[in-house]
A and B are shown apart, each in its own frame.
Chain A
Amino acid sequence: MRPLRVFIADDEAPARERLKALLDDIAAEVPNVLAGEAASGLQALERLPDSGADVLLLDIQMPGIAGLELARHVAALERAPALIFVTAHDRHAVEAFELNALDYLLKPVRAVRLAAALRKAVATGPASAERLARAAGAAREFFSVAARNRITLVPVSEVLYLKAGQKYVTLRTRAGEHLLEESLVQLEREFAGRFVRIHRNCLVARAAIRGFERASCGEEGEPHWEVVLEGVPERLPVSRRQWQAVRALAGGQTHG
Chain B
Amino acid sequence: MVSIRQKLRTDGLPDFRNLGVIARTLLGVHALVFAIVLAAHPDLAQAVQAFVRAAALLEPALVASLCLLAAATPWLRRLPYGGGFAAALALAGAAAAASHALLGEAAPAGLARTLAYALAAAALVLAYLRLRERAFSPALAEARLAALQSRIRPHFLFNSLNTVLALMRRDPRRAEQALEDLAELFRALMSDARTLVPLAEEVALAERYAAIEQLRLGERLRLAWDLDAAPMDALLPPLVLQPVLENAVHHGIEPSAGPGEVSVRIERRGDRVRATVENTHLPASGAEAPRPGNRIALENIRERLALYFDAEARLETRAEAGRFCVEIDIPYRSQAA
Contact = CB atoms under 8 A, between A and B. Distances in A.
Interface of A: 11-15, 17-18, 21, 39-40, 42, 61-65, 88-90, 93, 106-109, 141-142, 155-157
Given A21-B169, A40-B257, A63-B257, A93 B163 contact: no
A64 B286 CA distance: 10
B162 A64 contact: no
Given A17-B170, A21-B166, A88 B257 contact: no
Interface in B244-282: 254-257
B288 interface: yes
A64 B218 contact: no
Contacts of A88: 155, 158-159, 162
Contacts of A61: 254
B288 A14 contact: no
A108 B154 contact: no
B2 interface: no
Contacts of A108: 158, 161-162, 165
B166 A155 contact: no
7 pairs of A and B residues whose beta carbons are closest in the complex: A18-B166, A14-B166, A88-B158, A63-B257, A14-B163, A40-B257, A108-B162
B170 A89 contact: no
A99 to B, nearest CB: 14
B103 interface: no
Main secondary structure on chain A at its contact with chain B?
Answer: loop
Nearest to A39: B257
A221 to B, nearest CB: 41
B216 interface: yes
B166 A141 contact: no
A40 B167 CA distance: 21
B106 interface: no
Nearest to B175: A14
Contacts of A62: 257
A63 B221 CA distance: 13
30 contacts: A12-B159, A12-B162, A12-B216, A14-B167, A14-B215, A15-B159, A15-B216, A18-B165, A21-B166, A21-B169, A40-B257, A63-B254, A63-B256, A63-B257, A63-B288, A64-B257, A88-B155, A89-B155, A89-B158, A90-B154, A90-B155, A93-B155, A108-B158, A108-B165, A142-B287, A155-B286, A155-B287, A156-B286, A157-B285, A157-B286
Contact of B216 (A14, A40, A106, A157): A14
A87 to B, nearest CB: 9
A142 B285 CA distance: 12
Contacts of B286: 141, 155-157
A202 B162 CA distance: 49
Nearest to B178: A14
B79 to A, nearest CB: 52
Contacts of B169: 21
Nearest to B256: A63
B217 interface: yes
